[in-house]
Amino acid sequence: MTAAIPFAIPFTNTYARLPERFFAPVAPTPVAAPRLIRVNRDLAGLLGIDPDWLAGPEGVAVLAGNGVPEGAEPLAMAYAGHQFGNRVPQLGDGRAILLGEVIGRDGLRRDIQLKGSGPTPFSRRGDGRAALGPVLREYAVSEAMAALGIPTTRALAAVLTGETVQRETALPGGVLARVASSHIRVGTFQFFAMRGDVDGVRALADHVIGRHDPDLAQAENPYRALLTRVIERQADLVARWLLVGFIHGVMNTDNCAVSGETIDFGPCAFLDAYDPAAVFSAIDENGRYAYGNQPGILHWNLTRFAEALLPLLAPETEDGIAVAQDLLAAFGPRFEAAYYGGLRAKLGLATVRDEDLELAGALLQAMSANRADFTLTFRRLGDAALGPEGDAALRALFADPAAYDAWATRWRARLAAEPMDPAARRAAMNGVNPAFIPRNHRVEAVIEAAIARDDFAPFHELVTVLARPYDDQPAFAAYAEPPQAHERVLRTFCGT
């Protein structure tokens, strides 16, 4: 039985006030022998939670699901979705429980959720648990995304359960405490739309507007304004993903948050060698969610969101479709502005010229043809921007260095038309071109150390390095290097 814990987390819940069909009340299932792996002390402080308490016995009991703090109203959220394009009318939180919401010291409301906390009414015969590997992966990658400046859910803490979970083999179990602006997804809206529950769609939309976009309440049609706002957030988000080489891996509509945050880090990965067709997810057999497909998939997901909102966009269905199509047409220009603007910054270009897009495309084409490392190519461009003496390390990334030479001649001619001082340009480029990303082989190595040897030192070091992705960290230079041939990770796996 889950124990009650005295007040220590300042919960102030709103989702639990929605109608009962929005969720199922359910308490976490206690575990045998919880043990703390890591507490995100800075995030705890932001949420108004004492990190020392959270790392202590009562806090670890809460993080593991062995205790429910006063003020929490644990529940599993209902949602539906399209998975790999297939309509699924009911999904829901099958291994996650929302403890409640807190208003942080910055005035923003956030959810605190436990992943791997036991079965719920939505578990679909699953055990509701999480293996240690996916817990460590999500902690490391989500915190890396936050440090990169990309909207994302965050990791508050990770714990061991002292129990095993059975997947293909028996694995140690873990629980991740996840923090999000909200866990409301496109699939949450679809849950009600697929049932013809217009009142449910409206109540959810009103909740999202009140929580994320209160300014939209004054719009002539707040629901049209909400669709526009979500389109804008998602267009900006997917552009940011591409600019750091991130592949989500499973962009189903139930993994698409209306807040515009990156959510659910299952079979995700970062590019090593640049390849727009790259797929790492073992469950994405046809490459639906390949790196270069992500903008198109986001537009597809947003079309499903618009379909769910149709009754709120106009009184007549045909009119609603026309409104939706008009608003969705803005996705492409919004994405292109964010993506190409980001590429210009990565190339050190502060002004805009028509030929810039072709110049950026030529570099990407040369990188793809020569298997050049995505992250290191752009990072080393900062040194090359100071002068040709910085070319050597960059040329070495290309199977045929002459491909870089030909492009660099054009690039330097373009830089000559820029007003920025070379040193200032290099600093600006290093501010958008990270040196350190959660490389797949590094993430797998820390998981292996934890599972095989109960050694979490590599995990802690990786998280520390990734917290400063744009800084030169000479002591950790090896973390910036791409994998050797025998270290390459070709497949990533979903935590379920």
* DSSP for residue 50: -
The pLDDT-based confidence of 1 (bands split at 50, 70, 90) is: low
Residue 496 has pLDDT above 60, yes or no: no
pLDDT of 282 higher than 70:
yes
Find where tokens 């640049």 sit: 274
pTM: 0.96
Residue that is written with structure tokens 């960290």 in the block = 473
Active site residue 254: yes
pLDDT given at position 99:
98
Count, residues in the chain: 496
pLDDT of residue 261: 98
Q: Is the dihedral of CA 306, 309, 314, 317 positive or negative?
A: positive
Mean pLDDT is highest, among 1-5, 84-88, 396-400, for 396-400
Q: Work out the average pLDDT over 65-73.
A: 95
Instruction: Residue 302: name the closest of 221, 229, 394 by CA.
Output: 229
User: Which whole number is the average pLDDT over 162-177?
Assistant: 94
Write down the pLDDT at residue 470.
98
Residue with tokens 């070379």: 422
Query: What local confidence, expressed as pLDDT, does residue 487 receive?
Result: 87
Summarised one tens digit per residue, pLDDT across range 404-436 is 999 999 999 999 999 899 999 999 999 999 999
Cβ atoms of 31 and 161 within 8 Å: the answer is yes
**pLDDT-derived band at 297, boundaries 50, 70, 90:** very high
Work out the percent of the chain whose per-residue pLDDT is above 70. Answer: 98
Question: What is the pLDDT averaged over residues 433-449?
Answer: 97
Chain centre to alpha carbon of residue 438: 13
Residue range 140-159: mean pLDDT, rounded: 98
What's the confidence (pLDDT) of residue 303? Answer: 98
According to DSSP, the β-strands at 67-69 and 3-5 are parallel
Q: Which of 249-263, 277-291, 400-414 has the lowest average pLDDT? A: 277-291
Exactly one of 254, 264, 373, 391 is catalytic; name it. Answer: 254
Domain layout of the chain by residue ranges: 3-183, 187-339, 348-496
Residue 285: which pLDDT band, with cuts at 50, 70 and 90?
Answer: confident
Q: What pLDDT, in 10s, does the model give residues 191-244?
A: 999 999 999 999 999 999 999 999 999 999 999 999 999 999 999 999 999 999
Please, which residues have CB within 8 angstroms of residue 17's CB and are 6 or more apart in sequence? none
Mean pLDDT over each residue of the chain, to the nearest integer: 96
Decide the pairing of beta strands 154-166 and 170-180: antiparallel
Give the pLDDT band of residue 5 (cuts 50, 70, 90): low
**Percent helix / strand / coil, the chain, rounded to 5:** 50, 15, 35
Positive or negative, the Cα torsion across 187, 188, 189, 194? positive
Residues 317-353 have pLDDT tens digits of 999 999 999 999 999 999 999 999 999 999 999 999 9
Question: Rounded distance, CA 91 to CA 93, Å?
Answer: 7
The pLDDT-based confidence of 53 (bands split at 50, 70, 90) is very high
pLDDT band for position 6 (cuts 50, 70, 90): low
> What percentage of the chain exceeds 90 in pLDDT?
93
Across residues 134-147, what is the average pLDDT?
98
**Residue 4 pLDDT > 80:** no
